């Protein structure tokens, strides 16, 4: 995809309508015939023009979504080039990013298993603006993030019969080779030696070995060391606490957190960020066999914390517990985990929003404010000492499920907090991306399937951190 500036000689044009103001467009008759009042999008094929009516409360998220929704209506037409108006809603950098990311994200499709599929023919996008450095950098950011997110979406959308723990290993090694990253892969023997029994218990019934994957991007004179941990359940049947059939569908998306970590590393390298960034992926498969771990089991984690297993379908937090221990050995300045951890987070926040949790309220709020510029929706969920009571166990240090159905997202986050050492509690964030990670209905710029949740918000958080310093 080629992106240029101020080329008006294109096959199609996209125009923005703000505050329902149609006066600047010479298309009165078309608007009148179609009774168009500037709300939503409308396409005048005769003039090869797409009009996008923007919401009155314009944000980066709504701009990305509006552009994405509109582009979906024309992307399968016989269009090779597209010009789109520039609109500055607050900051030139993030406005350019939002417009171009909305276009690029909308062009994504996962159709490798369809006999007949129609892909967009668009090869050139022209942003109609005299571009300064901020605008050019914003466009570059959009290109990088769209590229990284496409890789993540392809991993998450891939079917469970094809994508397993070894696939994560191969993708990590490929990424490391292409972008000159450090990569170490650890399997069962190493994890047994390190006492990562919680992680291993989850994978016990799988036909494939568990994989602990450690990638690192180490630029010279790095300002900080940041570690991302991703839940990589390539498939989750629920184990012996078997999921109902309807709930098992989409569980190929339980690898979204680990896939997002790969995307973050790729984007960080392409953007030449001056942070040392580590990615820890816990790749496992929660299956059923005579080797399955069982409800009523007690497993001892790498951190030495004993865990009562009351439900084998609360498996992601067991994998993350040991991965977070491994991550803390790296002495991070900032530690962030990403996981499709709880259905409770989806119930509480909807399928559009990720939950932000942790012990440091200032850190949570800063991440929330930064995430707004990414176009991803987030919400801070505060820990509560009364909810912590729900994960107490009578036979172990902690239970892997709460004793109440209420507050499940927060109790899961507080479970993870039991494995965070005192010196890292103020440096840790838990991101529950269960809602937006996989979409069973398209919305905004997102198509059906994976959305690469977590990649954009984390990269923009790093950019904002850098600018603040």
| Residues labelled catalytic | 243, 317
DSSP 381: -
306-308 and 398-399 beta bridge pairing: parallel
Cβ–Cβ under 8 Å, residues 284 and 290: no
Q: What is the 3-state secondary structure (H, E, C) of 215-228?
A: EEECCCCCCCEEEE
Distances 432 to 180, 211, 248 between C-alpha atoms, Å: 30, 22, 19
- The residue to which tokens 């986050």 are assigned: 413
List, in order, residues 6 or more apart from 316 with CB less than 8 Å away.
Answer: 231, 233, 236, 254, 339, 340, 341
Q: How far is it, in rounded angstroms, from Cα 35 to Cα 170?
A: 54
What does the angle CA 132 – CA 136 – CA 139 come to, to the nearest 5 degrees?
145
Q: How far is it, in rounded angstroms, from Cα 255 to Cα 239?
A: 16
In terms of C-beta density within 10 A (0-12 exposed, 13-18 middle, 19 or more buried), how is residue 418 classed?
middle
Q: Token pair for residue 448?
A: 């059906």
Q: How far is it, in rounded angstroms, from Cα 273 to Cα 218?
A: 10
List, in order, residues 6 or more apart from 273 with CB less than 8 Å away.
Answer: 217, 219, 462, 463, 466
Q: How far is it, in rounded angstroms, from Cα 302 to Cα 283?
A: 16
Q: How far is it, in rounded angstroms, from Cα 396 to Cα 408?
A: 20
Distances 212 to 154, 203, 220 between C-alpha atoms, Å: 21, 12, 26
List, in order, residues 6 or more apart from 36 with CB less than 8 Å away.
Answer: 22, 30, 42, 51
DSSP 77: S
The number of residues making up the chain comes to 469
């Amino acid at each position: 995809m080629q992106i240029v500036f101020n080329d008006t000689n294109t096959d199609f044009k996209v125009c923005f309508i703000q505050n329902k103001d149609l006066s600047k467009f010479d298309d009165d008759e078309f608007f009148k015939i179609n009774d168009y009042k500037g709300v939503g999008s409308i396409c005048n094929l005769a003039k090869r023009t797409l009009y996008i009516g923007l919401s009155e409360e314009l944000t980066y998220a709504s701009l990305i979504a509006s552009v994405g929704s509109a582009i979906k209506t024309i992307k399968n037409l016989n269009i090779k080039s597209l010009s789109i108006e520039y609109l500055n809603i607050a900051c030139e950098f993030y406005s350019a990013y939002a417009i171009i990311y909305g276009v690029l994200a909308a062009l994504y499709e996962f159709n490798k298993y369809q006999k007949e599929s129609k892909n967009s023919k668009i090869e050139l996008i022209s942003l109609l603006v005299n571009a300064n450095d901020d605008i050019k950098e914003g466009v570059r950011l959009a290109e990088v993030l769209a590229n990284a997110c496409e890789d993540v979406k392809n991993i998450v959308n891939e079917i469970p019969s094809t994508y397993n723990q070894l696939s994560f290993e191969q993708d990590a090694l490929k990424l490391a080779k292409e972008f000159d990253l450090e990569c170490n892969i650890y399997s069962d023997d190493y994890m047994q030696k390190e006492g990562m029994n919680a992680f291993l218990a989850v994978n016990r019934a799988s036909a494939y070995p568990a994989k602990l994957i450690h990638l690192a991007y180490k630029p010279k004179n790095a300002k900080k060391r940041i570690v991302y941990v991703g839940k990589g359940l390539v498939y989750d049947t629920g184990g012996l606490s078997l999921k109902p059939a309807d709930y098992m569908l989409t569980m190929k998306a339980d690898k979204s957190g680990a896939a997002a970590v790969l995307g973050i590393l790729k984007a960080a390298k392409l953007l030449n960020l001056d942070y040392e960034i580590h990615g820890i992926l816990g790749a496992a498969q929660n299956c059923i066999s005579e080797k399955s771990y069982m409800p009523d089991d007690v497993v001892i984690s790498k951190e030495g914390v004993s865990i009562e297993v009351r439900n084998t379908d609360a498996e992601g937090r067991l994998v993350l517990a040991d991965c977070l221990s491994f991550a803390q050995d790296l002495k991070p300045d900032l530690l962030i985990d990403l996981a499709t951890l709880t259905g409770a987070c989806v119930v509480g926040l909807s399928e559009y929003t990720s939950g932000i949790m942790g012990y440091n309220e200032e850190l949570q709020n800063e991440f929330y404010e930064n995430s707004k510029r990414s176009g991803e929706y987030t919400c801070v969920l505060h820990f509560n000492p009364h909810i912590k009571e729900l994960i107490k166990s009578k036979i172990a240090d902690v239970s892997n499920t709460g004793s109440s159905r209420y507050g499940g997202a927060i109790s899961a986050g507080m479970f993870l907090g039991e494995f965070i050492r005192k010196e890292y509690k103020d440096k840790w964030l838990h991101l529950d991306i269960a809602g937006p990670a996989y979409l069973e209905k398209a919305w905004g710029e997102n198509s059906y399937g994976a959305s690469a949740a977590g990649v954009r918000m984390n990269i923009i958080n790093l950019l904002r951190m850098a600018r603040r310093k």
